[in-house]
Structure 1
Amino acid sequence: MGAGFSGLALAMRVPPSLKVLILEQKSQVDAGANTTGLITVATRGILSDLTDVRSYITNRIEDICVLAPDWSSHFFSGTDFPWIFSTDTPGLLGSMAGKLGPNVTLKTGARVETWDRETGEIHPIIVRFKEGDNSAVSVRCRLLVGADGTKSVVAAGSPDLSKNTKILFAYEKVFAGEPLFGEKPDRTVYHLWFGSFSLGYGGWIAPNFVSGKKVFRIGYATYDSNIKQENKLDNMINLLRWKEYIRLYEEKPLIKYGGYFPVGGVLPNTVSDDVILIGDAAGYCGAFSADGIKGALVSGITAAKLIPDHLDGDSQALKQIHNLMEAEAEMISYFSRQVRYRFLWNRMKSNATFTSLFKLCEREKDDFLNQFCDAKDMRKSLLWVLFKFRHMPALARLAGNILLDTLTGRK
Structure 2
Amino acid sequence: METVDVVVVGAGLAGLETARLLASRGLDVLVCDRRRHLDVGIRTTGIFVRRTLEDFPLPERHLGPAVRRVLLYPPSLRAPVELTSPRDEFRVADMAGVYAEARSRAERAGARVRLGTPYPVRGVEARFTIGADGARSTVARRLGLDVNRHLITGVEEVFPVATTSTPTFHCVLDPRLAPGYLAWLVDDGRQAHLGLAGLPDRLAAPLPRLLREFRAGFPDPPAPTGPLHRRGGPIPVGGVLRRIACPDGLLVGDAAGAVSPLTAGGLDPCLRMADLAAAVTADYLRTGDPSVLRHYDGRALRARFRLRLLLRRGLSRLRGPATTEAAFTALRTPLGRAAAARLLFGDGSFPNTRLEPATAR
TM range, normalised to the smaller chain? 0.7 to 0.9
Deviations 1:28-67 (A, max 9, x none): 234353211111122113321xxx5322221201111011
What's the CA shift for 1:253?
5.3
Deviations 1:186-205 (A, max 9, x none): 32100001012211101000
Change (3 A) 1:287 1:46: farther
Kindly indicate whether the alpha-carbon contact (under 8 Å) linking 2:25 and 2:282 is maintained by their aligned counterparts in 1.
no
2:343 to 338, 361, 371: 371
1:217 to 185, 193, 200: 193
Kindly indicate whether the alpha-carbon contact (under 8 Å) linking 2:75 and 2:173 is maintained by their aligned counterparts in 1.
yes
Matched, 1:174 2:152: no
Name the counterpart of 2:53: 44
Name the counterpart of 2:132: 147
Name the counterpart of 1:110: 117
2:291 to 287, 310, 316: 316
Structure 1 unmatched runs, 5+ = 113-126, 130-136, 380-411
In structure 2, give the amino acid aligned to 1:67. Answer: Y
Provide the C-alpha distance between the structure 1 equivalents of 2:126 and 2:350, rounded to a whole number of angstroms. 40
Change (3 A) 1:176 1:13: closer
Provide the C-alpha distance between the structure 2 equivalents of 1:249 and 1:99, rounded to a whole number of angstroms. 32
What's the CA shift for 1:228?
1.6
2:325 to 342, 355, 361: 355
Name the counterpart of 1:188: 168
Matched, 1:260 2:240: no
Provide the C-alpha distance between the structure 1 equivalents of 2:191 and 2:116, rounded to a whole number of angstroms. 29
Name the counterpart of 2:187: 207
Deviations 1:201-250 (A, max 9, x none): 010001135xxxx331100001117842111100110112xxx4313245
Kindly indicate whether the alpha-carbon contact (under 8 Å) linking 2:177 and 2:183 is maintained by their aligned counterparts in 1.
no
Q: What secondary structure, in the 3-state scheme, does the structure 1 residue paired with 2:214 have?
A: helix
Name the counterpart of 1:231: 209
Deviations 1:300-350 (A, max 9, x none): 111101112211211021221238x97xxxx64443332111111111111
Kindly indicate whether the alpha-carbon contact (under 8 Å) linking 1:178 and 1:186 is maintained by their aligned counterparts in 2.
no
1:76 to 74, 77, 82: 82
What's the CA shift for 1:287?
5.8
Name the counterpart of 2:359: none
Structure 2 unmatched runs, 5+ = 1-8, 352-361
Kindly indicate whether the alpha-carbon contact (under 8 Å) linking 2:71 and 2:82 is maintained by their aligned counterparts in 1.
yes
Change (3 A) 1:334 1:375: farther
Provide the C-alpha distance between the structure 1 equivalents of 2:41 and 2:88, rounded to a whole number of angstroms. 25
Name the counterpart of 2:267: 293
Provide the C-alpha distance between the structure 1 equivalents of 2:102 and 2:261, rounded to a whole number of angstroms. 23
Matched, 1:343 2:324: no
Provide the C-alpha distance between the structure 2 equivalents of 1:333 and 1:376, rounded to a whole number of angstroms. 13
Q: What secondary structure, in the 3-state scheme, does the structure 1 residue paired with 2:289 have?
A: coil
In structure 1, give the amino acid aligned to 2:123. Answer: S
What's the CA shift for 1:161?
0.9
Provide the C-alpha distance between the structure 2 equivalents of 1:272 and 1:10, rounded to a whole number of angstroms. 17
* Percent of aligned positions that are identical: 22
Number of aligned residues: 336
What's the TM-score once normalised by structure 2's chain length? 0.86
What's the CA shift for 1:295?
0.7
In structure 1, give the amino acid aligned to 2:292. Answer: A
Name the counterpart of 2:355: none
Q: What secondary structure, in the 3-state scheme, does the structure 1 residue paired with 2:48 have?
A: strand
1:13 to 13, 16, 21: 21
In structure 2, give the amino acid aligned to 1:98. Answer: S
Change (3 A) 1:253 1:345: farther
Q: What secondary structure, in the 3-state scheme, does the structure 2 residue paired with 1:143 have?
A: strand
Provide the C-alpha distance between the structure 2 equivalents of 1:194 and 1:358, rounded to a whole number of angstroms. 11
In structure 1, give the amino acid aligned to 2:331. Answer: C
Q: Any residues of structure 2 matched to 1:394-405 within 5 Å, and which? A: none
Provide the C-alpha distance between the structure 2 equivalents of 1:376 and 1:26, rounded to a whole number of angstroms. 33
In structure 2, give the amino acid aligned to 1:248. Answer: A
Name the counterpart of 2:356: none
In structure 1, give the amino acid aligned to 2:278. Answer: A
What's the CA shift for 1:185?
4.4
Q: Mark the structure with the bigger radius of gyration.
A: 1
Provide the C-alpha distance between the structure 2 equivalents of 1:108 and 1:234, rounded to a whole number of angstroms. 33
